[in-house]
């Protein structure tokens, strides 16, 4: 529907007519206008005869009136109100930390009858998980030798999905800095609430517990901590002290068949996975450790995470607005320029 943000502007609509009939006429040097009789003056659209005897067309008054109406309509700031959109009152802060180390190149996940690397499987399953998190602020951390905040906490889940899709193995280095990833998550996930709490009293009791439970980190890795400035356990202790719950997911199959020049042999592609540390991280922060050996297990983990961390139900409604003033403004100015150009041609006409 159309809404006028400044409807009081319409009060100036009769202004030209008030000026015409209430203020005295300007006496020019070549005043030679012959007005029509009273019957013509009583018409809604006035007519006049200029000094050369040419009658001013009634269409001129129609166009001038229309131009004035359009300009006043543009000044009233017309807007188009869209359909109501629900926004969460207090959504969850959810960060996704994805390992991009070199070991993620191992092709031990099956996707549509073909073997794909671990990152490709994560992109598909985690991307769908992000899409379902309506009402949560979602962010993305990519880590290898170093940890980087690829997408800050935002309601724009589509952008986070795009950043995840564009991630490349080895982009952050070939090693694995799990501790640095957790430390970066603690730092970034606390920046937004701190900015909002400046004008609010510090939460206590049940409020503090509810607030802390809304801070979640999901960490996906297929190895052990081999780089970084802080150990994973110390980072987890820091996260626990700040109320950040961490769910850890170990990626990779337990065994796979590899063809070599000596024949086919069975290997364990996840022998470097440090499940003990990942379990301890989850335990310290009140989360859980999951083992994703294939794509089906990974999907099941994300479905379970949806149950453990349900989407916020409370919401508030707003209606997006789009300004429409430029349409009547452009039309009014175009008509005004047309009238001015026509008047100039009439004055130049012999």
pLDDT tens by residue, 57-91: 778 888 888 988 999 999 998 988 877 766 555 56
Report the candidate in 68, 85, 64, 72 with the shortest Cα–Cα distance to residue 4: 72
Report the candidate in 85, 75, 10, 74 with the shortest Cα–Cα distance to residue 321: 85
For the stretch 87-90, contacts whose Cβ atoms lie closer than 8 Å and that sit 24 or more positions apart, written own/partner, are 87/135, 87/155, 87/315, 87/316, 87/317, 87/318, 88/135, 88/136, 88/312, 88/314, 88/315, 88/316, 89/312, 89/314, 89/315, 89/316, 90/214, 90/312, 90/314
Averages of pLDDT over each 10 residues, the chain, 350 residues:
87 87 66 44 44 61 87 90 65 87 83 82 88 86 93 90 91 90 90 47 42 77 88 94 92 67 59 88 93 84 81 62 86 87 73
At 91 the pLDDT is: 64
- Which tokens go with 328? 């009547």
Query: Which domains are delineated in the chain?
Result: 2-82+320-348 (no CATH), 86-315 (3.40.50.410)
At 278 the pLDDT is: 93
At 177 the pLDDT is: 92
- Cα 156 to Cα 129, 133, 139, 151, 247, distances in angstroms: 14, 10, 9, 10, 22
Q: Which residues pair with 88 in a beta bridge?
A: 315
At 47 the pLDDT is: 47
Whether the model clears a pTM of 0.75, i.e. scores above it, the answer is no
Give how far the C-alpha of residue 308 lies from the chain's centroid of Cα atoms, to the nearest Å: 26
Report the candidate in 333, 336, 327, 332 with the shortest Cα–Cα distance to residue 78: 327
Distance between CA atoms of 60 and 343, rounded to whole angstroms?
Answer: 10
Distance between CA atoms of 42 and 167, rounded to whole angstroms?
Answer: 76
At 28 the pLDDT is: 53
Cβ neighbours for 330, distance < 8 A, ≥ 6 positions apart: none
Distance between CA atoms of 311 and 325, rounded to whole angstroms?
Answer: 39
Q: What is the dihedral of CA 102, 108, 114, 118, to 10 degrees?
A: -40
Report the candidate in 222, 213, 228 with the shortest Cα–Cα distance to residue 248: 222
- Which tokens go with 13? 């609509």
């Amino acid at each position: 529907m159309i809404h006028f943000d400044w409807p009081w502007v319409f009060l100036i609509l009769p202004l030209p007519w008030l000026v015409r009939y209430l203020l005295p006429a300007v006496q020019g040097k070549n005043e030679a206008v012959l007005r029509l009789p009273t019957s013509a003056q009583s018409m809604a659209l006035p007519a006049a005869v200029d000094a050369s005897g040419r009658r001013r067309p009634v269409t001129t008054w129609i166009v001038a009136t229309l131009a004035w109406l359009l300009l006043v309509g543009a000044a009233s700031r017309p807007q188009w109100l869209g359909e109501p959109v629900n926004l969460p009152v207090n959504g969850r802060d959810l960060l996704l930390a994805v390992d991009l180390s070199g070991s993620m190149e191992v092709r031990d996940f099956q996707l549509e009858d073909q073997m794909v690397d671990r990152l490709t499987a994560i992109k598909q399953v985690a991307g769908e998980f992000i899409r379902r998190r309506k009402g949560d602020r979602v962010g993305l951390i990519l880590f290898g030798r170093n940890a980087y905040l690829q997408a800050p906490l935002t309601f724009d889940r589509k952008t986070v999905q795009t950043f995840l899709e564009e991630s490349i193995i080895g982009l952050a280095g070939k090693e694995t800095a799990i501790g640095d990833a957790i430390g970066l998550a603690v730092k970034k996930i606390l920046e937004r609430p701190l900015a909002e709490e400046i004008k609010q009293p510090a939460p206590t009791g049940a409020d503090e517990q509810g607030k802390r439970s809304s801070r979640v980190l999901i960490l996906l890795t297929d190895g052990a901590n081999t780089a970084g400035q802080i150990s994973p356990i110390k980072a987890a202790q820091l996260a626990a002290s700040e109320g950040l719950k961490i769910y850890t997911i170990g990626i990779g199959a337990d065994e796979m068949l590899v063809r070599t020049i000596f024949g086919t042999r069975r290997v364990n592609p996840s022998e470097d996975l440090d499940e003990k540390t990942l379990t301890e991280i989850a335990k310290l922060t009140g989360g859980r450790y999951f083992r994703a050996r294939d794509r089906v297990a990974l999907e099941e983990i994300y479905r379970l995470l949806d149950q453990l961390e349900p989407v916020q139900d409370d919401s508030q409604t707003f209606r997006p607005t789009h300004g429409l003033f430029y349409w009547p403004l452009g039309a009014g100015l175009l008509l005004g320029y047309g009238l001015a150009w026509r008047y100039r041609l009439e004055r130049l006409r012999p």
